[in-house]
Structure 1
Amino acid sequence: MLVAGISLCLSAGLMGCSSDGDSDSGNGGGNNGLPALSDSQINAPDGQLSARIQTTTGGVPHITADNLESAAFGSGYVQARDNVCLIADSIIRARGERALFYGPGPDVAAALPVGINVVTDFSYKALGLLEKANEEFTELSAPSQAMLRGFAEGYNKYVDETAPSDLPAKCNQAPWVRSISAEDLYAYYQLVALYASGDNFVQGPLFAAVPPNTSPAPMPAMPAASADAASAEARLMASNVAGLTPEALGLKTDYNDRGMGSNGWGIGSEMTENGKGALLANPHFPYTGNRRLYQMQITVPGVYDVNGAGLIGIVIPLIGFNDNVAWTHTVSTAQHFTLYDLTLKSGDPLTYIKDGEEKPITQKTISVEVNVGGGNTATFERDFYYSEHGPMLAGNVINSNLPSWGGNFVGRPTAFTYRDANTDTARIVVDQWLNMGRARNVDQFQQPFESCGSVLWVNTMYADDSGQAFYIDGTSVPSLSGGALQAFQARANTNPVVGGLFNAGVTLLDGSRGLNDWVEGDCEGRIAYDGMPKLERRDYVQNSNDSYWATNPDEFLTGFSPLYGSTESILSPRTRMGLAMLENPTDTGLSTVAPAGSDGKFTGEEIIKALYSNRAYYAETLLDELLARCDTADTTPIATDDSSSRSVAEGCTALANWDGVYDVDSRGAHVFRVFIGDYDPAFPSEFSMAFDPANPETTPGTPNEAPADISQDPMLASLARGLDKLDQVNIAYDARLGDVQRQQQSTGTPPSGMPGKSGSPIEWHGNQNLEGGFNIVRPDTGRVEDGTRYPRSAPAGTLANTGSLSSTANEGWLIAYGTSWHFGLSFTDEGPQGYGLISYGQSDDPSSAFFQDQDLRYSAKDYRKLLYTQADITADAELQTETIETSVETEAGAE
Structure 2
Amino acid sequence: MHQCKNYAFRVVKGNTFRLLPLIFGFIFALFVGFSSRAILPKSTEILWDTYGIPHIYGKDTQSAFQAFGWAQMQSHANLLLRLYGQARGRAAEYWGEKYLESDRWVQRMGIPERAQSWYKAQNPAFRNNLDAFAAGLNAYAKAHPDLIDDEVEVVLPIEPVDILAHGQRVLHFTFVVNPESINDNVEKIGENNSKASNGWAIAPSRSASGKAMLLANPHLPWSNLFLWYEAQLTAPGIDAYGATLVGIPVLAIAFNDNLGWTHTVNTHDGWDTYELQLADGGYRFDGKIRAFQTEEKTLQVKQDNGTLRAESLVVQHSIHGPVVAQKQGKALALRVVGLDSPGALQQWWDMAQAKNLTQFETALKRLQLPMFTVMYADRDGHIMHLFNGQVPIRSQGNFEDWEGIIPGNTSQTLWTKTHPYRDLPRVVDPASGWLQNANDPPWTTTFPRALNPDKYPPYMAPRGLMSFRAQRSAKMLNEDESISFEEMVKYKHSTRMELADRLLDDLIPAARKFGDESARRAADILETWDRQANADSQGAVLFAQWTDEMDFPEAFAIPWKEEAPQTTPDGLADPQKAVKALAIAAAKVDKAYGVLDVPWGDVFRLKSVDRDLPANGDPGKLGIFRVLNFAPTANGRFQAIEGDSYIAAIEFSNPVRAMALTSYGNATQPNSPHVGEQLQLFARKELHPVWRSRQDITAHLEQRQVF
TM-score (norm 1): 0.71
Contact 1:254 1:504 survives alignment (8 Å): no
The residue that corresponds to 1:458 in the other structure is 372
**C-alpha displacement at 1:66, in angstroms?**
2.5
Q: Go from structure 1 to structure 2 and tell me whether the alpha carbon gap of 1:49 and 1:72 turns closer, same or farther (over 3 Å shift).
A: farther
1:266 pairs with 2:129? no
CA distance in structure 2 between the aligned counterparts of 1:304 and 1:172, rounded to whole angstroms: 37
**C-alpha displacement at 1:615, in angstroms?**
1.3
Contact 1:549 1:566 survives alignment (8 Å): no
1:138 pairs with 2:138? no
Contact 1:58 1:850 survives alignment (8 Å): yes
Q: Give CA-to-partner distance per residue, 1:480-514, whole Å, 9 cap, x none.
A: 2xxx21xx46xxxxxxxxxxxx6497354332222
**After the TM superposition, which residues 122-133 of structure 1 pair with which residues of structure 2 at under 5 Å, given as runs?**
122-133=104-115
Q: Give CA-to-partner distance per residue, 1:407-460, whole Å, 9 cap, x none.
A: xxxxxxx432122103233x2121211121111222221112223x23323111
Q: Go from structure 1 to structure 2 and tell me whether the alpha carbon gap of 1:630 and 1:356 turns closer, same or farther (over 3 Å shift).
A: closer
**C-alpha displacement at 1:199, in angstroms?**
5.2
Contact 1:124 1:202 survives alignment (8 Å): no
Contact 2:259 2:378 survives alignment (8 Å): yes
The residue that corresponds to 1:279 in the other structure is 214
1:686 pairs with 2:544? no
1:657 pairs with 2:481? no
Contact 1:55 1:62 survives alignment (8 Å): yes
The residue that corresponds to 1:296 in the other structure is 231
Picking from 58, 75, 81, the partner of 2:68 is: 75
CA distance in structure 1 between the aligned counterparts of 2:363 and 2:404, rounded to whole angstroms: 28
> Which amino acid is 1:460 matched to?
V
The residue that corresponds to 2:46 in the other structure is 53
The residue that corresponds to 1:194 in the other structure is 172
Contact 2:242 2:254 survives alignment (8 Å): yes
Q: Go from structure 1 to structure 2 and tell me whether the alpha carbon gap of 1:692 and 1:259 turns closer, same or farther (over 3 Å shift).
A: closer
Picking from 420, 439, 450, the partner of 1:528 is: 420
Q: Give CA-to-partner distance per residue, 1:94-121, whole Å, 9 cap, x none.
A: 111111122112xxxxxxxxxxx22321
CA distance in structure 1 between the aligned counterparts of 2:292 and 2:255, rounded to whole angstroms: 47
Picking from 650, 653, 677, the partner of 1:825 is: 650
The residue that corresponds to 1:376 in the other structure is 307
**C-alpha displacement at 1:373, in angstroms?**
2.7
Picking from 686, 692, 695, the partner of 1:862 is: 686
> Which amino acid is 2:95 matched to?
Y
The residue that corresponds to 2:468 in the other structure is 573
**C-alpha displacement at 1:541, in angstroms?**
1.4
Contact 1:269 1:466 survives alignment (8 Å): no
1:439 pairs with 2:354? yes
**C-alpha displacement at 1:680, in angstroms?**
5.1
Secondary structure in structure 1 of the residue aligned to 2:686: coil
Q: Give CA-to-partner distance per residue, 1:569-606, whole Å, 9 cap, x none.
A: 22110000001101112xxxxxxxxxxxxxx3123332
> Which amino acid is 2:667 matched to?
S
The residue that corresponds to 1:224 in the other structure is none
Contact 2:370 2:390 survives alignment (8 Å): yes
Q: Go from structure 1 to structure 2 and tell me whether the alpha carbon gap of 1:584 and 1:281 turns closer, same or farther (over 3 Å shift).
A: same
The number of equivalent residue pairs is 663
Secondary structure in structure 2 of the residue aligned to 1:676: helix
> Which amino acid is 1:474 matched to?
N
Picking from 667, 680, 704, the partner of 2:538 is: 667
**C-alpha displacement at 1:731, in angstroms?**
5.0
The residue that corresponds to 2:568 in the other structure is 699
**After the TM superposition, which residues 709-748 of structure 1 pair with which residues of structure 2 at under 5 Å, given as runs?**
713-730=576-593, 732-745=595-608
* Unmatched tracts of structure 2, length 5 or more: 1-40
CA distance in structure 2 between the aligned counterparts of 1:140 and 1:336, rounded to whole angstroms: 23
Q: Give CA-to-partner distance per residue, 1:631-684, whole Å, 9 cap, x none.
A: 445xx52xxxxxxxx62233233323322211112222111111222235433x
Residues 437-446 or 600-609, more deviating: 600-609
**C-alpha displacement at 1:628, in angstroms?**
2.9
The residue that corresponds to 1:627 in the other structure is 508
1:883 pairs with 2:702? no
CA distance in structure 2 between the aligned counterparts of 1:580 and 1:731, rounded to whole angstroms: 36
CA distance in structure 2 between the aligned counterparts of 1:669 and 1:851, rounded to whole angstroms: 30
The residue that corresponds to 1:561 in the other structure is 457
CA distance in structure 2 between the aligned counterparts of 1:147 and 1:733, rounded to whole angstroms: 58
Q: Give CA-to-partner distance per residue, 1:354-382, whole Å, 9 cap, x none.
A: 22333211210101111123231122223
Q: Go from structure 1 to structure 2 and tell me whether the alpha carbon gap of 1:563 and 1:306 turns closer, same or farther (over 3 Å shift).
A: farther
**C-alpha displacement at 1:393, in angstroms?**
2.1
Identical pairs, percent:
26
1:184 pairs with 2:172? no
Picking from 95, 102, 117, the partner of 1:102 is: 95
CA distance in structure 2 between the aligned counterparts of 1:505 and 1:391, rounded to whole angstroms: 18
Q: Go from structure 1 to structure 2 and tell me whether the alpha carbon gap of 1:772 and 1:204 turns closer, same or farther (over 3 Å shift).
A: closer
**C-alpha displacement at 1:865, in angstroms?**
1.5
**After the TM superposition, which residues 448-597 of structure 1 pair with which residues of structure 2 at under 5 Å, given as runs?**
448-451=363-366, 453-480=367-394, 484-485=395-396, 488=397, 503=400, 506=403, 508-519=405-416, 525-538=417-430, 539-554=433-448, 555-558=450-453, 559-567=455-463, 569-585=464-480
Q: Give CA-to-partner distance per residue, 1:773-809, whole Å, 9 cap, x none.
A: 11100114xxxxxxxxxxxxxx35xxxxxxxxxxx45
> Which amino acid is 1:741 matched to?
F
CA distance in structure 1 between the aligned counterparts of 2:638 and 2:68, rounded to whole angstroms: 35
Q: CA RMSD in A?
A: 2.4
Contact 1:324 1:465 survives alignment (8 Å): yes
Q: Go from structure 1 to structure 2 and tell me whether the alpha carbon gap of 1:504 and 1:63 turns closer, same or farther (over 3 Å shift).
A: farther
Secondary structure in structure 2 of the residue aligned to 1:373: coil
The residue that corresponds to 1:14 in the other structure is none
Contact 1:279 1:463 survives alignment (8 Å): yes
**C-alpha displacement at 1:870, in angstroms?**
2.9
Contact 1:152 1:182 survives alignment (8 Å): yes
Contact 1:608 1:836 survives alignment (8 Å): no
**C-alpha displacement at 1:272, in angstroms?**
0.8
Contact 2:56 2:233 survives alignment (8 Å): yes
CA distance in structure 2 between the aligned counterparts of 1:827 and 1:137, rounded to whole angstroms: 36
Contact 2:266 2:371 survives alignment (8 Å): yes
The residue that corresponds to 2:18 in the other structure is none
* Unmatched tracts of structure 1, length 5 or more: 1-47, 106-116, 206-243, 247-251, 396-403, 407-413, 490-501, 520-524, 586-599, 638-645, 707-712, 746-757, 781-794, 797-807, 885-895
Q: Give CA-to-partner distance per residue, 1:309-337, whole Å, 9 cap, x none.
A: 01001111111211111111110111111
Picking from 664, 667, 677, the partner of 1:843 is: 667
Secondary structure in structure 1 of the residue aligned to 2:593: coil
CA distance in structure 1 between the aligned counterparts of 2:393 and 2:594, rounded to whole angstroms: 52
Q: Go from structure 1 to structure 2 and tell me whether the alpha carbon gap of 1:705 and 1:96 turns closer, same or farther (over 3 Å shift).
A: closer
**After the TM superposition, which residues 421-432 of structure 1 pair with which residues of structure 2 at under 5 Å, given as runs?**
421-425=337-341, 427-432=342-347
> Which amino acid is 1:418 matched to?
L
Contact 1:50 1:73 survives alignment (8 Å): no
The residue that corresponds to 1:63 in the other structure is 56
Q: Give CA-to-partner distance per residue, 1:30-60, whole Å, 9 cap, x none.
A: xxxxxxxxxxxxxxxxxx9963111113111
Contact 2:276 2:333 survives alignment (8 Å): yes
Picking from 239, 242, 249, the partner of 1:315 is: 249
**C-alpha displacement at 1:694, in angstroms?**
2.2
Q: Give CA-to-partner distance per residue, 1:135-192, whole Å, 9 cap, x none.
A: 331221234312211211111111111134x33xxx3454435220111111111111
> Which amino acid is 2:477 matched to?
L
Contact 1:479 1:526 survives alignment (8 Å): yes
The residue that corresponds to 1:357 in the other structure is 288
